[in-house]
Amino acid sequence: SQTIHQWPATLVQPVGSPLSLECTVEGTSNPNLYWYRQAAGRGLQLLFYSVGIGQISSEVPQNLSASRPQDRQFILSSKKLLLSDSGFYLCAWSFRTGFGIQYFGAGTRLSVL
């Protein structure tokens, strides 16, 4: 069966510091991968998705970037965090074809102070 791991679970970072959140998927090959942000009390905002190694699509221009160095690894980064980057970050995967059910990681709660 497939599993998705996301870490860290909680992160407190000062403004201006760098960020690296990692997500890995096990038990499948060639998944689509996604990063979402959920601001407090709000819905999900798709940040990036990837259909393959090195292929990243950005949905919202911002202070963040994503990379996919390996088939089942997806990394969310920032060079300098802003206060507005605080939120709950969710990684998800889906099969390449089909009805598109997305399977989510447990999330990372990021507080930028």
Q: What does the block give as tokens for 38?
A: 């959920």
Q: Minimum CB separation from other proteins for residue 81, in Å?
A: 22
CB of 46 to other proteins, least distance (A): 7
Please identify, using beta-carbon distances, which residue of 12 and 15 lies nearer to other proteins.
Answer: 12
Report if residue 101 touches other proteins, rule: CB under 8 A: yes
DSSP label at 20? E
Q: Phi, psi at residue 41, to the nearest 5°? A: 70, 15
Location of structure tokens 């089942």: 72
CB 38 within 8 A of CB 46: no
Residues that bind other proteins (CB under 8 A): 6, 32, 42-44, 46, 49, 51, 57, 90, 92, 97-107, 109
